[in-house]
Amino acid sequence: MTASILPLALDRVRFQAGDATILDDVSLEVRAGRRLVVLGANGAGKSVLLRLCHGLLEPTAGTVRWRAPADAARARQAMVFQRPVMLRRSALANLAYPLAKRGVARDARMARAREVMGRVGL
């Protein structure tokens, strides 16, 4: 069994979009073996909080830290969106897209995407 990437710690995280403050002064810690439920009304910032935790957004202020180094932590994370979006591309291109966003070289990301497709018989 591999080591946990937890804890996850947010320290005084703030996120702004234009003039709107979406999250302000959020601090929390999620420890290994524990669960955290995030509840709130529409527009309260729940999805923004998750995107910050997964490195899909950068905080305006404060820090988001995983126990593992960022690259190792991201390799063990997954986030399922409420409305999944497939790009108007091939399945291979959809698999390679997040690797491109992480700066992985084209040859390496295409090889990885082909490997994953092979695992599921595509």
DSSP 43-66: TSSHHHHHHHHTTSS--SEEEEEE
Residues 46 and 98 in one domain: no
pLDDT score recorded for residue 1: 39
Reading the block at residue 51, the tokens are 């995107």
Residues 24 and 56 in one domain: yes
Residues 92 and 115 in one domain: yes
Residue 3 domain flag: no
pLDDT averaged over the chain? 88
C-alpha span between 119 and 109 (Å, rounded): 15
| Domain count across the chain | 2
According to DSSP, residue 13 is labeled: E
Residue 3: which pLDDT band, with cuts at 50, 70 and 90? low
Reading the block at residue 86, the tokens are 């497939």
In the predicted model, is pLDDT for residue 112 greater than 60?
A: yes
State pLDDT tens for residues 26-84.
Answer: 999 988 888 888 899 999 999 999 999 988 899 999 999 988 877 777 777 777 777 77
Residue 1 domain flag: no
C-alpha span between 60 and 16 (Å, rounded): 6
C-alpha span between 98 and 117 (Å, rounded): 15
Q: pTM for the whole thing? A: 0.67
Strand 61-66 and strand 8-17: the pairing is: antiparallel
Residues 104 and 63 in one domain: no
Which residue range forms the structural domain that includes residue 110?
Answer: 84-122
